[in-house]
């Protein structure tokens, strides 16, 4: 009989301790998302905005509109290309830093060098590609002067190419950091053991390093996927408005105060990203790996 009040008393501090985070999450995450879901079922009145009537029109409009599918196809295309490139770059850069640089100090120094681009803003990093890739930019004038080409290469800027360049530049670090973190925890004697057991250099990478880095790869992939899927600014600026993304559809709707349809797009995008995240976690049990 005396245990019940004791249990109650001991629970109180626990509740108090989780309360701040719960309140913050509820206020700044659950409530806004819930509002977005609610608004996505409201009706839109031309340039006036939201009319609180229940309707499925927004979802039907979106799903039956070929434009939505075109935008998603283009976003998925960019996501996959950027994922592949950032993975290859991120993996090898991390591998180099962890296993090839002997001195820890130099490794940390080089790692910091990777973050240098982040000392300026996103926008500057993106815009600065323009004078490099432009018709009268560095690359084109260099190639023209060397006589390699006689017409400037138009596909360098305002194209899918320039979008991918900007994404890779912006997001590779998000791949390097988690992979670096995973690799740094690999016991070096494992590699030696593998070599002693007769594994080739590639065999070590394939059978030891890669499986033991998969937490980092999964986390990096998650960062890159969410960043690319949620972007409209990079794609608009770097494609000169010629390519769109799933998010640029949302942006266009907001331009005309069509909040309900924008909310419906956001909900669909959220579901797609959650599905991708779920499948990544399915492949790698990140939580288990992290406590390893």
Partner 1 sequence: MKKTLLNKTVSRRAVLKGGAAVAGVTAVTGFPMVWAQNLKDITLNHTGMSYSTLPDIARQASQDLGFKVEMSVVDHPGLLNRLVQDPSSLDIADLEVWQSKVAVPQGALQGVEIAKIKNWGDLTPLYTEGTFAGKEVSRQGDAPIEFIYREGKDSNGFASGKTDWANFCPGVFNADTLGIRPDLVGREVNSWADLFSPDFKGKTAIQNIPTNGIMDAMMACEAAGLLTYGDKGNPTQEELTATIAKLIELKKGGHFRALWNTFDESVNLMASGEVVIQSMWSPAVTAVQTQGVKCTYQPLKEGYRGWGNGLGLLAHLEGLKLDAAYEYLNWYNSGWVGGFIAKQGYYSSNPKTAMANLSENERGFFYEGKAATADITSPTGEKTNSAGDVRDGGSFEERFAQVAVWNNLMDEAEFLYSKWNEFNAA
Q: Does 163 bind partner 1 (CB under 8 A)?
A: no
Q: Does 157 bind partner 1 (CB under 8 A)?
A: yes
Q: Does 241 bind partner 1 (CB under 8 A)?
A: yes
Neighbour count for residue 163 (Cβ, 10 Å): 27
Interacting residue with partner 1 among 17, 22, 70, 115 (CB under 8 A): 70
Q: Does 78 bind partner 1 (CB under 8 A)?
A: no
Burial label, 186 (beta-carbon count in 10 A; 0-12, 13-18, 19+): middle
Which of the residues 84 through 143 are near partner 1 (CB under 8 A)? 130-131, 134-136
| Angle, in degrees to the nearest 10, between helices 66-95 and 214-229 | 140
Interacting residue with partner 1 among 1, 16, 47, 116 (CB under 8 A): 47
Q: To which H or E segment does residue 181 belong?
A: helix 160-184
Interacting residue with partner 1 among 28, 29, 256, 281 (CB under 8 A): 256
CB 277 within 8 A of CB 230: no
Q: Does 178 bind partner 1 (CB under 8 A)?
A: no
- At residue 153, the 3 state secondary structure works out as coil
Q: Does 258 bind partner 1 (CB under 8 A)?
A: yes
Judged by beta carbon, residue 40 or residue 182, the one nearer partner 1 is: 40
Q: To which H or E segment does residue 43 belong?
A: strand 43-45
- At residue 240, the 3 state secondary structure works out as coil
Give residues in contact with partner 1 (CB under 8 A): 46-49, 65-67, 70-71, 74, 130-131, 134-136, 154, 157-158, 236-237, 240-242, 244, 248-249, 252, 254-258
């Amino acid at each position: 009989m005396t245990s019940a009040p004791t249990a109650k008393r001991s629970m109180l501090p626990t509740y108090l301790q989780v309360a701040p985070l719960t309140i913050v999450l509820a206020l700044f995450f659950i409530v806004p998302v819930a509002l977005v879901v609610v608004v996505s079922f409201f009706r839109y009145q031309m340039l006036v905005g939201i009319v609180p009537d229940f309707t499925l029109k927004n979802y039907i409009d979106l799903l039956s509109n070929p434009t939505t599918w075109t935008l998603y196809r283009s976003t998925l295309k960019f996501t996959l290309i950027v994922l592949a490139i950032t993975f290859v770059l991120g993996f090898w850069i991390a591998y180099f830093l962890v296993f090839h640089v002997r001195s820890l100090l130099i490794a940390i120094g080089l790692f910091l060098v990777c973050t240098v681009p982040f000392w300026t803003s996103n926008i500057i990093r993106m815009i600065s590609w323009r004078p490099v890739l432009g018709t009268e930019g560095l690359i084109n004038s260099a190639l023209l002067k060397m006589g390699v080409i006689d017409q400037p290469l138009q596909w360098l800027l305002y194209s899918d190419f320039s979008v991918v360049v900007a994404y890779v530049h912006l997001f590779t670090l998000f791949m390097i950091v988690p992979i670096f973190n995973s690799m740094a925890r690999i016991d070096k004697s494992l590699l030696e053991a593998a070599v002693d057991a007769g594994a080739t250099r590639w065999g070590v990478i394939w059978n030891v390093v890669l499986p033991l880095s998969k937490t980092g790869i999964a986390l990096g992939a998650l960062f890159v996927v969410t960043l690319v899927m949620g972007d409209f600014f990079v794609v608009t600026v770097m494609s000169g408005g010629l390519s769109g993304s799933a998010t640029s559809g949302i942006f266009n709707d907001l331009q005309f105060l069509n909040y309900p349809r924008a909310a419906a797009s956001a909900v669909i995008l959220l579901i797609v990203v959650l599905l991708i995240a779920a499948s990544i976690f399915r492949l790698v049990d990140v939580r288990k790996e992290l406590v390893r």
